[in-house]
Structure 1
Amino acid sequence: MAQQVRGVIARAKGEPVRIETITVPDPGPGEAVVKVQACGVCHTDLHYREGGINDEFPFLLGHEAAGVVESVGDGVSEVAPGDFVILNWRAVCGQCRACRRGRSQYCFNTHNARQKMTLADGTELAPALGIGAFAEKTLVAAGQCTKVDPAASPAAAGLLGCGVMAGLGAAINTGGVTRGDSVAVIGCGGVGNAAVVGARLAGAAKIIAVDIDDRKLETARGLGATHSVNSRSTDPVEAVRELTGGFGADVVIDAVGRPETYEQAFYARDLAGTVVLVGVPTPEMRLDLPLLDVFGRGGALKSSWYGDCLPARDFPMLIDLYRQGRLDLDAFVTETIALDEVEKAFERMHHGDVLRSVVVF
């Protein structure tokens, strides 16, 4: 029987979100209903509210979530009722050209639940990243549920569903950071600081945090950055070069996603070094680089989608590291809030006051 629960809805571009009653249908074939325990407030949710993703209003926001599977539809074998899961937006298909080549982390045909959750009047909702977890319960494709150790804190575990995984993966999976490397991270919000943590986990010898906010730089140092640069007062390219013997870093991660920060990343890397773009640009942004410099500096220019993660592989591993005390996911939880405080959390995010606000049910 369909259930009615509360959820955070964005009805129109720029309008404050509101809590409304939504209808969650019983899971159909390949689907699961998850009772959400915690969901992080991610900048992507704000992008949805501002119309920066698409204009398919109304949106059911929220996607960085963990919870317990309540029920599953026909044909579901990967999870069962009672499983503690992290929700993901990369339910791999297993059939596309990337999956057939053994590169499921690049799956080009990821899928979501076929049925739609609706408002009380029957209006269909567009769930953020196919999840919609600012709700007491949500309907997803079963492949969007990754079973992990139930002893993990839901507030911390859910952050692997998006921002923390994006940053960690940008360093480890996309950037290929390894022992002894020098790494610079431009932009030290939630994703950038997760990249700092990822570089530390991978054994980087030098991790340079770059930001315009001293508060964020202090947080980055606490999470493993060996050096910090305030780019409001210091040229970040020159600073990174100075800290790396005049050469530049082996891997530079742009966690901002603006043309000016990408250019900084490009010139702050060593010859044959790697640039990783994980910050999300807006559609109107353009980049102008001398093609000769692109050729002459060599190396790799990469974009990181979701930290190039494979949830079934990466989430359980990272939760194990968290449970062992080797990955401090709790450090990313600045505050826990109620469902009706999401709009206020957007304001605090805009002012740079939090790494993550997390809705706890």
Structure 2
Amino acid sequence: MPHEVRAVVAVKKGAPVEVQTIVVPDPGPGEVRVSVQACGVCHTDLHYREGAINDDFPFLLGHEAAGTVEAVGADVVDLAPGDYVVIAWRAPCGACRSCLRGRPWYCFDSRNAAQAMTLLDGTPLSPALGIGAFADETLVAAGQAVKVDPAARPEAVGLIGCGVMAGYGAAVYTGGVGRGDTVAVIGCGGVGNAAIAGASLAGARRVIAVDIDDAKLDGATRFGATHTVNSRGTEPVSAVRELTGGHGVDVAIDAVGIPSTYQQAFYMRDHAGVLVQVGVPDPGMTVELPLIDLFSRGGALKSSWYGDCLPTRDFPILVDQYLDRRLDLGGFVSETISLDEVEEAFARMRRGEVLRSVVVL
């Protein structure tokens, strides 16, 4: 029978979120119901609240989650009640033209639960990134629930579900950082620090963190930054070039997503270097670059969508690295909060006071 649970709902554009009782259906074919143990507060949730993603209100927020499978649909064979999972917002369909070409990380028909979760009056909810995990329970497609080692703390490994995977994958998969490479990462929030960690684990010999906040730069060294540049008082392109013998970096990662940081990353590259954009831009933003520079500098300009990851492959890898103390997921957790404190967590996020607030249920 359907379950009534507490959840964080964005009712209308720009309004403070509300904790309401919602209805979570029993799982149908291809679906699982997950008891959420922890869920990170991500900038994307704030974008939904502010109507910057779309206007399909009301939204059920939350998407960086870990928890336990409570029930499965009749045709689900690879998950069972009690399985410990991290929830992904990509679940490749296996049948689209990208999946059939062996590129499931670019799947064009990623799976979500077919049934809607609703308010008590029957109003359908739009779950953030197809998840909606600021709730005691949520309903997702079975392919979104990725089994991981149950020894991992949920408040840490839930962050793999979005921000950590996006940043880590931007360096390792989209950027292709390899041993001996030089890397610059602009923006030392959760995604940027995950990119720094990924670059370090991939064997980069120099990882340069760029930000306007000295406290964030100090924190970036915890994740593997070898050098830091405060771009508030220093011209960042010149500083990065000076740190690389005048050449620029092999891979420059923009984890902010505004025109000025994109341009900085473009010019920080060595000849034929790679630029990776992983920071989510406002839809109205544009960037202008001289066409001759695009031509003459060579290299590649890439956008990283979820770190070009394959959750069933990558989530267990990152959890193993965490348990082996090679990936400091706990370092991303600035505070743990309750469902009732999400609105206040958004305010702290805006002020740059936290890497991640994590709701613990």
Query: TM-score scaled by structure 1?
Result: 0.99
**Equivalences for 1:40-79 in 2 at 5 Å?**
40-79=40-79
1:330 aligns with 2:330: yes
The one-letter code of the counterpart of 2:144 is Q
How big is the shift at 1:283? 1.2
Shift of 1:77: 1.6
Paired residue secondary structure (1:334): strand
Q: How does 1:4-15 map to 2 (within 5 A)?
A: 4-15=4-15
CA distance in 1, matches of 2:330, 2:283: 33
Counterpart-to-counterpart distance in 2, 1:164 and 1:171: 11
Q: Using the alignment, how far apart are the partners of 1:307 and 1:158 within structure 2?
A: 16
Give 1:217's aligned residue: 217
Q: Output the CA distance in 2 between the equivalents of 1:223 and 1:304.
A: 20
- Report the equivalent of 1:25: 25
Using the TM superposition, give the Cα deviation of residue 132 of structure 1 relative to its aligned residue in structure 2, in angstroms: 0.2
User: Which residue number corresponds to residue 298 of structure 2?
Assistant: 298
- Any idea what SS the aligned residue of 2:76 has? coil
For 1:293 and 1:9, the matched residues in 2 are separated by 46
CA offsets, 1:106-146, max 9 Å, x none?
Answer: 11110210000000011100000000000000000001100
In the aligned structure 1, how far is the partner of 2:70 from the partner of 2:92?
Answer: 22
Paired position in structure 2 for 1:37 = 37
Cα distance in structure 1, aligned partners of 2:7 and 2:107: 29
SS of 2:359's partner is strand
Q: Which residue identity lines up with residue 330 of structure 2 in the other structure?
A: D
Please report how far the alpha carbon of residue 224 of structure 1 lies from its aligned counterpart in structure 2 after TM superposition. 1.0
Alignment of 1:110-189 (within 5 A): 110-189=110-189
CA–CA distance in structure 1, aligned partners of residues 138 and 56 of structure 2:
18
Give the Cα separation in 1 of the matches to 2:229 and 2:325: 28
Q: Counterparts of 1:79 and 1:307 in 2: how far apart (Å)?
A: 25
Contact 1:148 1:319 in 2 (8 A): yes
User: Given residue 187 of structure 1, which amino acid in structure 2 is its aligned partner?
Assistant: G
SS at match of 2:45: helix
Code of the residue aligned with 1:106 in structure 2: it is Y
Q: Aligned equivalents of 1:299 and 1:267: distance in 2?
A: 11
Q: Deviations over 1:248-293 (max 9, x none)?
A: 0000000000111000000000001000000011111111111111
Task: Point out 4+ residue stretches in structure 1 off by more than 3 angstroms.
Answer: none
Q: Secondary structure at the match of 2:71?
A: strand
- Distance in 1 (CA, whole Å) between partners of 2:294 and 2:78 is 44
Q: In 2, distance between residues paired with 1:222 and 1:93?
A: 37
The residue identity in structure 1 corresponding to 2:28 is G
2:10 and 2:293 mapped to 1: Cα distance? 44
Task: Give the deviation of 1:227 after TM superposition.
Answer: 0.6
Partner of 1:251: 251
Local SS of the residue matching 1:184: strand
Partner of 1:312: 312
* Count of aligned pairs: 361
Structure 2 counterpart of 1:275: 275
Counterpart for residue 228 of structure 1? 228
Shift of 1:25: 0.4
- Report the AA paired with residue 197 of structure 2: V
Once the two structures are superposed, residues 297-320 of structure 1 have per-residue CA deviations (whole angstroms, 9 ceiling, x without a partner) of: 001100000010000000001111
Deviation at 1:78, TM superposition (A): 2.3
CA RMSD of aligned residues (A): 0.6
* Aligned AA (1:170): A
C-alpha contact (below 8 Å) 1:78/1:143 kept by paired residues: no
User: How far off its partner does 1:221 sit?
Assistant: 1.3
Specify the alignment match of 1:237 in structure 2.
Answer: 237
Distance apart, 1:341 and its partner CA: 0.4
- Native 8 Å contact 1:155 1:360 kept in 2: yes
User: Aligned partner of 1:223: which letter?
Assistant: F
Q: CA deviation at 1:325?
A: 1.0
Query: Which runs of 5 or more structure 2 residues have no equivalent in the other structure?
Result: none
Gaps of 5+ in 1: none
Specify the code of the residue in structure 1 equivalent to 2:269: R
* Structure 1 counterpart of 2:251, one-letter code: V
The letter of the residue matching 1:32 is: V
Q: Which residue of 1 aligns with 2:200?
A: 200
Cα distance in structure 1, aligned partners of 2:113 and 2:17: 23
Partners of 1:129 and 1:80 in 2: CA distance? 23
Task: Report the TM-score when normalising by structure 2.
Answer: 0.99
Distance (whole Å) between structure 2 residues aligned to residue 3 and residue 53 of structure 1: 28
Shift of 1:74: 1.8
